């Protein structure tokens, strides 16, 4: 039985992914801050889900990760799905601080540890949910778009590092557009995917060992377009 750890599995895409992997006979290590939601997931799949309750902004990430990996009996795949973002019209420091604590500090600590674990194991797969928003700066939530760009660039660096080491360590950067979760704030949304559809496409992309997965698939067009827009145009929408 293959083993996966999903960081941020209490709700939204993370929970949907945990359910998909459990239904496909994976042993799932589900993490999150809310014990009751983790317990309900474990009760739904008692033979396939093991939980570890922790907050990625605290200082015990690695110990919790080690404990969960030991309970699983190893690790084949880690999915970092924990994320945070709020509109910051007044450039609120508390919002920016929380955003970077989760999307940068928590992310890099866990993914760095996992990559080194897979180096020792000689194989593995890391996937992380960044965002289409990471392709350019965003005046509505500057820290969010910047932190997601950090995630994408770090994942690309790990992909290149695995190639240099000539190790079968796969790295998948997941870039969703709008998905119908609590993270989708504000107005003017389009091409909004359901959580189940997003999870199925992510699951498929990871299974096929894609380097980058756009959710839904047509968001690759927006990602490419945004990158090439000249600033005099982009500043009207960004």
Q: Which residues are catalytic?
A: 144
Read out DSSP for 18-39? HHHHHHTT-EEEEEES-HHHHH
Concatenated DSSP letters of 59-90: S-HHHHHHHHHHHHTS-SEEEE--------TT
Structural contact between residues 117 and 75, judged by C-beta atoms closer than 8 angstroms: yes
Partners of residue 29 on adjacent β-strands:
5, 50
Q: Which helix (H) or strand (E) holds 212?
A: strand 212-215
Buried b (16+ CB within 10 A) or exposed e, 130-153: bbbbbbbebeebebbbbbbbbbbe
Q: Tell me which residue has tokens 């928590």.
A: 106
Structure token digits, residue 63: 């110990």
Instruction: Report the candidate in 123, 41, 31, 113 with the shortest Cα–Cα distance to residue 77.
Output: 123
Query: Which DSSP state fits 193?
Result: B
Sorted by sequence, the CB contacts under 8 Å of residue 184 that are 6+ apart come out as 178, 192
């Amino acid at each position: 039985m293959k083993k996966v750890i999903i960081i941020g599995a209490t709700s939204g895409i993370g929970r949907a992914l945990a359910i998909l992997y459990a239904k496909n006979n994976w042993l799932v290590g589900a993490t999150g801050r809310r014990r009751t939601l983790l317990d309900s997931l474990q009760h739904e799949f008692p033979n396939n889900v093991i939980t570890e309750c922790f907050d990625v902004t605290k200082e015990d990430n690695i110990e919790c990760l080690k404990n969960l990996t030991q309970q699983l009996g190893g690790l084949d795949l880690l999915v970092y799905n924990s994320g945070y973002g709020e509109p910051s019209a007044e450039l609120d420091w508390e919002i920016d601080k929380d955003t970077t604590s989760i999307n940068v500090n928590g992310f890099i600590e866990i993914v760095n540890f996992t990559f080194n674990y897979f180096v020792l194991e000689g194989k593995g797969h890391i996937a992380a949910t960044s965002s289409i928003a990471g392709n350019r700066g965003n005046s509505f939530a500057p820290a969010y778009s910047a932190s997601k760009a950090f995630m994408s660039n770090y994942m690309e660096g790990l992909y290149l590092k695995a190639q240099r080491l000539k190790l079968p360590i796969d790295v998948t950067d997941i870039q969703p557009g709008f998905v119908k979760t609590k993270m989708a704030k504000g107005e003017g949304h389009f091409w909004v995917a359901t959580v189940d559809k997003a999870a199925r496409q992510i699951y498929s992309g990871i299974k096929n060992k894609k380097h980058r997965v756009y959710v839904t698939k047509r968001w690759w067009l927006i990602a490419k377009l945004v990158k090439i827009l000249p600033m005099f145009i982009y500043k009207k929408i960004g």
